[in-house]
Amino acid sequence: MAASPTSSSTLTNVQAKHLDQQHNVGTKIVLGGVANIVAASITNPIDVVKIRLQLQSVVAQTESGVVADALRYHGFRHGLRAILKEEGVAGWYKGIQASLFREGSYSALRFGLYDVFKERYDEWLLPKAPDGQPLAVSTPLHIKILSGATSGAVGSALANPMDLVKVRMQGDRSGLRYNNSFLFACRDIYQHDGVIKGFYRGVGPTTLRAMVLTATQLASYDHMKAVLVDATPLEEGFAVHIIASMFAGLMAATTSSPIDVIKTKIMNECSKTTASHEYFNSSQLMRRAVIDVLRTDGVRGFFKGWFPNWIRLGPHTIISLMVYEELRALMGIKPV
């Protein structure tokens, strides 16, 4: 029996959609990487201050035991000035190589795969009409959150080594630990800790943080854009992108801050600063880090570095998403 014109047309549309998705996914990953590399280059000084603030109690315990060390940086602005005075402009850009490699892998994947997972979850989870088309006019928020969490997990798990090197180098105030060299840091970590215990230390909390951050950041950006376009006179464009990305940065900084503190503490440890018997599995590492934060700083310790984290994520989110949207438009790809 010959297929009806309607069913043939539907099949053709579905095939065309899948072909378009396959063609665009690689491009989206590349564009996501470029956009985040631009953002990371601009916001690296803020990231360095954030890492230093999060590690202050660790510095006091592991370097000299002097309580004054824990008060080296009296907040974000003081930290920014102190690093410039003590280490020069180079201090602001410690870990920049690892940061750019990280953005070119981790953020490239989480940005580029967000649409892919959203389209797949739409197909799998949303109710469909008899012709196979989804009944929902737009993607629900829970699908966007799930898509962000999935793309963040994939990107983070694969890019954990670059994230770890970045944290180690940015936390190295003296520059003696890794000679301010990306390659030296990679070689040193490998020689002392190996691949798994070295480069994949903290992969559990890092992946969890990426899931929370991406689910919050991209989903809130995507959903806020839809709300602004549907409920206000604003149209898709610069103003909508700015407002939505500012909101996304605030949400991402707040939800990811506690996990970010734990991740930073775990990643900063190595066999040179931590006894070998303390190498527990991921759940034990997380539990020990949580107890350490509560013991030294209390509950507020989980939000140590929140302000610089927000100051970084705000501009980083705005820049990365604005550049990403512009690059997508240049390539003829529809907005996020």
pLDDT digits (tens, 9 = 90+) for 260-318: 888 888 888 765 655 444 555 677 888 888 898 898 888 888 887 788 778 888 899 99
Rounded Cα–Cα distance for residues 143 and 154 (Å): 17
Confidence of residue 184 (pLDDT cuts 50, 70, 90): very high
Residue (of 335, 185, 205) closest to 260 by Cα position: 205
Contact 122, 147 (CB under 8 A): no
Which pLDDT does position 66 carry in this prediction?
46
Least confident segment among 37-41, 136-140, 206-210 = 136-140
Decide: 296 and 7 in contact? Cβ < 8 Å. no
Least confident of 41-45, 73-77, 126-130, 277-281: 277-281
Provide the pLDDT for residue 276: 45
Q: Is the pTM of this model over 0.85?
A: no
Which range of 20-34, 44-58, 181-195 scores highest in mean pLDDT? It is 181-195
pLDDT digits (tens, 9 = 90+) for 50-102: 888 888 865 555 555 444 445 688 888 999 999 999 999 999 999 898 899 99
The mean of the pLDDT values for the chain is 85
Max avg pLDDT among 29-38, 156-165, 265-274 = 29-38
Residue type, 259: I
4 CB neighbour count, 10 Å cutoff? 9
Predicted confidence (pLDDT) at residue 129 exceeds the cutoff of 70? yes
